[in-house]
Each structure stands twice: as C-alpha cells, then as structure tokens.
Amino acid sequence: MASKQTAPIMNQGQGETSYAHNSSIQNAEQNKMKSLIEAVVVELCSNTGTLQPGKMVIVDLGCSTGPNALALVSIAVEAIHAHCLQFQQPSPEVSVLLNDLPENDFNTVVKSLVTLRQSNDPVVVTGITPGSFYERLFTSESVHLVCSSNSLHWLSKAPEDLKTNLIPAYDIDEHSRHERLPIVLEAYAKQYRKDFTLFLKLRAKELVSGGRMIISLLGRRSDIIATKFPFLPEIVAQILCVMVSEVHFNTFFSSMHL
Amino acid sequence: MASKQTAPIMNQGQGETSYAHNSSIQNAEQNKMKSLIEAVVVELCSNTGTLQPGKMVIVDLGCSTGPNALALVSIAVEAIHAHCLQFQQPSPEVSVLLNDLPENDFNTVVKSLVTLRQSNDPVVVTGITPGSFYERLFTSESVHLVCSSNSLHWLSKAPEDLKTNLIPAYDIDEHSRHERLPIVLEAYAKQYRKDFTLFLKLRAKELVSGGRMIISLLGRRSDIIATKFPFLPEIVAQILCVMVSEVHFNTFFSSMHL
C-alpha cells in the first residue's frame, strides 16, 4: 500500500478549469468580511500609537490566485484611504503582502497585485510572501492586519495517527467507514488543535502590539455529532477513491480539516 | 512605420534557452561583489543604531530568475550569520526581498527562495517585490541593504527623443548609423541620467539612515569616444534588425543603456 502527499494548490492560470474561474463561493465568503475589515481599519487608523511611524502592513494568508487574491487587501486599502480622507489625517504608507504556498501560481497574482501599487502619496507598496502559514513568514512585530478567508481548514499535513495506522480518510467500504468515523474525526481535530495553536503563536510574534486578525473559515458546531463523512459530498469522495486506486495508490489522506 | 515596446524579461523556466541556463557571465559579475557585500554587512552589523530593533532588510533589485536570483542575498545572509557567530552577538531577524518586473518568472524564483527561510533562530523570512525599480517598491526607511547586479543598464523606457524623431537605435544603413551615432548616444545618456537620478531619489526614501547600496553594472570611460554601436555586437544588432523587419516593424528601440 502506498500513499503520496501533495500540496493543496489551486488550478493555475485563467482557463475554464482554473481556480480563478471557479471560486465564486469563496468570493461570496470574502464579501461577508467587508464590514469587519472596515471596522478594524478604523480602529487601527485611530490608534496613532500602533501606526507609528506612519506605516501599515496588511497581509492575506492563503491568497490563492485569480480575482479573490486581491479582494480582502483591496477592501482594507480602500478603507484606510477613505478613513484618512474623511478625518483629514495623512494616509499611512501601506504595504500589502500576499501569502500562499510556494507552488501557488504567483506569476498570475503578481500581474494583478501591481495594479494596487501607488508610487506617490498615498504610497502603497506590494509584495508576495511565499510559504506555509505554519512557519514564520514575517519579521517580529511588523504586521498590523492579518486577513485570511477559506484557508485555515488546510492543515500542515494529514494526521500522523491515520497515516501510521493506514486508516484512510474515506474508506470505500461503508461498514468500515462508519465504524472508524470517530477515530478519523478525532485524528483531524487533534491535528487541527496542534496546527491552529502553532498558527496563533507565530502570528502573535509577527503582529505589532494592537494589531488585528480577521479570519473566516467553515466550521460546524461541536455539540452536533457527525454521523457521516463531513469532508466532501459522498459522491466526490467515492470518485476520489476510485481515481486514487487507478493510479496505484490504495489510500488517500486529506490535509483538509474535517 | 510602427514600433512596439516590451518589458526586458529573461526567458522563463529551466529549459535549454532559459536565462537560468544561460547566465554564467552575470554570475561571474555577482561573484566579484562578494567581498564588497561581506564588508558592508560587517559595517551594518557593527552599527547597532542602524539595526534597531534587531531586524535587517536585504533586497536585490532586478533579481531575474534561475540560480543568480539568490546569489547576492545568499552572500549577505551568510555574512550576517558568520559575523554574529564570530562576535557572539545575537543575529538580527533577516528579511530577504527579491525584485524584478511583474513579467518575470516568479514561480521559478519562489521555489528556490523559500530554501533560504528559517523559522527558528536565526529567523530569515523571504518575499518578492514585483515592480519597476523606477517606482517606489518599499515603505520609507525600511531597507538596510540594496544589492543590484547587471540590471541598472535597463532604462525605464527607450529615449523619447529617438522615438519621436523615428531614429532607430541601430540603423541598418552604415552611413546613417555612423552619422547619427552621437545623437543616439546622447539620447541614451540623457535618459540614463534622468532614470538614475530618479532611482537614487527613490532608494534614498526607502533606505534607513546608515543603510547601504551595492550596485554593479557595465560601463565605459566617458573620455573614450565611442566610434561604433556599443550596445551589442554588430552581428547581433543586424540579426535583430532583420527579425524586426520580418514581423512588420521597421524600427526597434532598445531600453538598454548604450
């Protein structure tokens, strides 16, 4: 029995099957964050201590590619400029940094990212910070606002307990799947607790005092006991199982939190 | 008569005709900068005022792609760690930022760039800053060391005077070429003075007090009068002229300083 782990990367480019053309659900989630981001920006701009010396660093963790990559940071930049115009205070220099795994299609992201840049007042500079958000990405106390939408369900890796014991995330046999569901769910929950704790520790080092973080991710109530495989619709999971078996891998492990 | 301007971008990828496989001359130039970078790093690390609060931002402007992209910044990072080890002083957190035009093959650069990252002490974080170095790239007083090798001969654009008067950089007719050489050279020199002045003004804003800049570029002595087209070997210029005429453009303008 063999298994293989690959990075959870969205389809590149602008084609029919690209993430750029198939991410309207994710965009709808981002739009729900607009008022939250605007409120946080007002707080940050009002706290002159946090903003000294007139700079603000905004990051999106797990930006992916396509139009969604710029959605959250664009809201933040517009909110900063609107606030400063309204209260006639000088705009801070804004540094916009987009993050995703090194395998992401940054060539596409970069071409749209530079449209945010402004050389003259108010200055906006832009950059890419490739890497896992389960590692250090920024220097200490350098980030004012962290945004992340629909990304933190990706774990750093599939749960070790399942891989060691060769327990698949989705067993094609219905009886085995049902019997092992509590073990599978607990393994994913354990990995998530470990990863999310690490994520918070890392960001705590990178955020300035008074910095803010806005995260949106799918979840379910912990008091509702899952009775079936909650990761993907059954039909998709079954298709994945068949595809995996056809390329000589008997098992697949997902690094997506269930 | 038509003309077209495209960004001076190196061939992508890792193939036989890629820049990554055809840039040994540029690498030799970079190696000559090693001792200069090491000396500057010692100065920066010794000046505790400049380094407060324990961070150092190093950038390479015009990094291109392939193994050369990391050469200068790798020398700097190694020099910082070696100096701090030798004098038993804590290493600063280092932020390494690579810059080139948005059309550069950043997907390839990113995959090697992340090998420089270190999550634990001494922390090294990495990023990409896409854009022209004739515009603002970084926030004010945020950069400690700027490196650039073999890039600053690229102008922001071909000289306007030549484009307006339809004077080609290389005239296929030998007599016209010889007669216009002083005009062509002066037009390029004028554009270079303008661009380099702007470059210095921009970097002056971005460098911290006490920051350093190490630039290497090809040049010629101003007291030696050029008697022939100095931009490319005659045979290459002639081939370019023929290629340009075959795709229905009668004239080509280079944005490379002569």
pLDDT at B169: 73
Q: Which of B69, B147, B62 is nearest to B108 (CA)?
A: B69
pLDDT at A171: 73
Contact B126 A125 (CB under 8 A): no
With a pLDDT cut of 70, the percent of chain A lying above it is: 76
Contact B102 A119 (CB under 8 A): no
- Over residues A178-226, the pLDDT tens digits come to 888 888 888 888 999 999 999 999 999 999 999 999 999 877 776 666 5
Q: What residues in A contact B139, CB-CB < 8 Å? A: 55, 93, 95, 123, 125
Q: Which of A75, A59, A56 is nearest to A67 (CA)?
A: A75
- Give the distance from residue A160's alpha carbon to the nearest chain B alpha carbon, in angstroms: 22
B136 interfacial to chain A (CB closer than 8 Å) = yes
Residue of B95, B110, B156, B203 to mutate, interface with A, max A Cβ within 10 Å: B110
| Residue A124 Cα distances to A120, A171, B102, angstroms | 8, 50, 16
Which residue is closest to B140 within chain A, CA to CA?
Answer: A93
ipTM: 0.82
pLDDT at B21: 62
B9 interfacial to chain A (CB closer than 8 Å) = no
The single-letter code of the amino acid at B117 is R
Across the interface, of A106, A135, A202, the residue whose CB is closest to B110 is: A106
**CATH number of domain containing A113:** 3.40.50.150
Contact A110 B117 (CB under 8 A): no
B113 interfacial to chain A (CB closer than 8 Å) = yes
Across the interface, of B117, B123, B140, the residue whose CB is closest to A93 is: B140
Residues in Cβ contact with A73 at an 8 Å cutoff, skipping those fewer than 6 apart: A58, A59, A60, A96, A98, A116, A147
| Side-chain half-sphere exposure of A258, counting CA atoms within 13 A | 27
Q: What residues in B contact A117, CB-CB < 8 Å? A: 131, 135-136
pLDDT at A235: 67
pLDDT at B247: 61
- Residue B116 domain-assigned? yes
DSSP state of B256: B
Burial class (CB in 10 A: 0-12, 13-18, 19+), B53: exposed
| DSSP-assigned states of every residue in chain A | ---------PPPSSSTTSGGGS-HHHHHHHHHTHHHHHHHHHHHHH-HHHHTTTEEEEEEET--SSTHHHHHHHHHHHHHHHHHHHTT-PPPEEEEEEEE-TTS-HHHHHHHHGGG-BSSSSPEEEEEEES-TTS--S-TT-EEEEEEES-TTB-SSS-HHHHHTT--SS-SSHHHHHHHHHHHHHHHHHHHHHHHHHHHHHHHHHEEEEEEEEEE-----TTS---S--SS-HHHHHHHHHHHHHTT-------B--
| Binned average pLDDT, 10 residues per bin, chain B of 258 residues | 51 67 67 91 86 88 89 95 93 96 93 90 95 96 95 89 79 80 87 95 96 88 60 64 63 63
Contact A127 B129 (CB under 8 A): yes
**Is residue A122 reached through a cis peptide bond, with omega within 30 degrees of 0 on the bond before it?**
yes
Across the interface, of A95, A126, A130, the residue whose CB is closest to B110 is: A130
Q: B89 in helix, strand or coil?
A: coil
pLDDT at B78: 95
Low-confidence ranges of chain A (pLDDT < 70): 1-14, 16-26, 52, 222-237, 240-241, 244-258
Contact A106 B119 (CB under 8 A): no
Q: Range of B208's domain?
A: 19-246
Contact (CB, 8 A) for B168 and B251: yes
Q: What residues in B contact A202, CB-CB < 8 Å? A: 119
Residues in Cβ contact with A185 at an 8 Å cutoff, skipping those fewer than 6 apart: A226, A230, A258
- Residue B256 domain-assigned? no
- Over residues A145-170, the pLDDT tens digits come to 999 998 998 899 888 888 888 887 77
Q: What residues in B contact A113, CB-CB < 8 Å? A: 102, 130
Residue of A91, A99, A125 to mutate, interface with B, max B Cβ within 10 Å: A125
Q: Taking all residues of chain A, what is their mean pLDDT, rounded to a whole number?
A: 83
**Domain count of chain B?**
1
Across the interface, of A93, A117, A202, the residue whose CB is closest to B139 is: A93
Across the interface, of B55, B106, B123, the residue whose CB is closest to A136 is: B123
Residue environment code for B1-23, b if the CB has 16+ CB neighbours within 10 A, otherwise e: eeeeeeeeebbbeeeeebbbeeb
| DSSP-assigned states of every residue in B99-168 | EE-TTS-HHHHHHHHGGG-BSSSSPEEEEEEES-TTS--S-TT-EEEEEEES-TTB-SSS-HHHHHTT--
- Residue A239 domain-assigned? yes
Residue of A107, A112, A141 to mutate, interface with B, max B Cβ within 10 Å: A107
pLDDT at A213: 97
Residues in Cβ contact with A232 at an 8 Å cutoff, skipping those fewer than 6 apart: A170, A240
- Residue A101 domain-assigned? yes
Contact A139 B55 (CB under 8 A): yes
Q: What residues in A contact B54, CB-CB < 8 Å? A: 140
Contact A126 B129 (CB under 8 A): yes
Across the interface, of A123, A135, A139, the residue whose CB is closest to B93 is: A139
B106 interfacial to chain A (CB closer than 8 Å) = yes
Q: What residues in B contact A130, CB-CB < 8 Å? A: 110, 113-114, 126-128
pLDDT at A72: 94
- Residue B80 domain-assigned? yes
- Residue A162 domain-assigned? yes
- Residue B112 domain-assigned? yes
pLDDT at A230: 54
A106 interfacial to chain B (CB closer than 8 Å) = yes
A135 interfacial to chain B (CB closer than 8 Å) = yes
pLDDT at A160: 85
- Residue A195 domain-assigned? yes
A126 interfacial to chain B (CB closer than 8 Å) = yes
Across the interface, of A110, A114, A140, the residue whose CB is closest to B93 is: A140
pLDDT at B120: 84
